[in-house]
Amino acid sequence: MAKKPHELSAAQAARSMASGELTSEALVASCLERIAERDETVRAWAFLDRAQALAQARALDRMPRRSPLHGVPFGIKDIIDTADLPTEYNSPIYRGHRPKADAACVALLRRAGCVILGKTVTTEFANNHPSQTRNPHNSAHTPGGSSSGSAAAVADFMVPAALGTQTGGSVIRPAAYCGAFACKPSFGSINRAGTKFVAESLDTLGVFARSVEDLGLSLEILASRPFASSKAGKEKPRIGLCRTPRWSEADAATQANLERAATRLAEAGAQVRDFELPAGSADLFDRHRLIMGYEDVRALAWEYENFPNEISQTLKPRLDEGWKVSRADYDDMRERARRCRRALSQQMSDPTQGVDVLLTPSATAEAPASLASTGDPVFNRAWTLFGVPCVTLPHGKGPHGLPLGIQLVGAFDADAALLRWAGWIEEKLA
């Protein structure tokens, strides 16, 4: 049975439009129909202007193709500015806020001929206060956060691709919980102008989609990194199985799922060996919070001073703790992170013991059966602090039948290579 337009991946939809089998207007209409059917349950969208989205699509159908994803709709996390839609950061402080201009990443999508379908729900200021979004597989479970709406919308076939941001684990973890593909590229890969800061040394724009190819084509637009085919040919990767110092915090299903993936990849011809992180890395899985706290409260200093009663009782204590972090402790932690980052780069590139990609958990477990938390980012924080590129692939199911993911980590600025190996791994685990 043929797929409906909204069920296509971004790359599949783009090819259908290029061949004349599909129009952007028909794709957007199909996505809007799916949203009308499902969003009362999933609650992934903060703002939609249906007429405006269809008008964009019709205009693009009349234009020459501008990129491989011409005509493909994207969801935009609601901490990213859009000139034609509100940007409220899921905070009453910014109710009705209308930016003058698009964020850089949104402008790049428009320049490439993509449709801005709408704004997806974020947690409050992309922090720890849970949003209204539900996991599309079971509405009693969290979708993760802070990019809750983007992950849920892509996983539930409401939109082929969406933008999110990661400061701790806000791209990789919700994608794993919802069963989407996602990439957090190397720090600084995508221009952050027009994106509300949480932590300036950590915040990284990322992409949610339905295949590795989708991720690569999206990052070609957003980061100007040429995307080679995700099929790696006859080459086979050197994979480091990195359980991390926090392995005991992964549940039995997650541990077994990762071990099975490693075994299958070895059987497919990959060189798989255990990989230990550099000395001193263990602290970074927890001490990431010191850097984030110091930067977070300063990024929100105006809101903290002028609207303290309109900040949630979940976020306010976190900000209070941020004021207690000294500049000396902050500088010391950042220097320790830089040393570990350099050591990791050397270890991965070692001529005899180096690896092309690390295989590690995306999250501690399937999505928790709670809406009071967005889940634990322990398997994401250190990678964000290192600034290295990460990809999560849906793989396996948890004890309640919800998706599990595996996380692939590359060397800093080796995003193209990571995506190439991710495509190989996607194929072998399919």
Separation CA 311–CA 299 (nearest Å): 14
Residue 271's beta-bridge partner residues?
238
Comparing CA positions, the residue from 139, 129, 128 lying closest to residue 44 is: 139
Active site (catalytic) residues: 77, 146, 170
- 3-class secondary structure for 117-175? EEEECCCHHHCCCCCCCCCCCCCCCCCCCCCHHHHHHHHCCCCCEEEEEECCCCCHHHH
Residue spans of beta strands (DSSP E) within 311-351: none
Task: Let me know: does 296 contact 199? Beta carbons within 8 Å.
Answer: yes
Q: Which long-range contacts (CB under 8 A, 24 or more apart) does 234-238 make?
A: 235/424, 236/268, 236/269, 236/270, 236/271, 236/424, 237/265, 237/270, 237/271, 237/355, 237/356, 237/357, 237/421, 237/424, 237/425, 238/270, 238/271, 238/273, 238/354, 238/355, 238/356, 238/357
CB atoms within 10 A of CB 143: 35
Q: Who contacts 205 (Cβ-Cβ below 8 Å, separation ≥6)? A: 80, 105, 163, 164, 165, 185, 189, 190, 192, 195, 222
Amino acid in the structure at residue 304: Y
User: Cα-atom radius of gyration of the chain, to the nearest Å?
Assistant: 20
Q: Residue 82: in which H helix or E strand, if any? A: none
Comparing CA positions, the residue from 42, 101, 106, 49 lying closest to residue 77 is: 106
Separation CA 428–CA 263 (nearest Å): 11
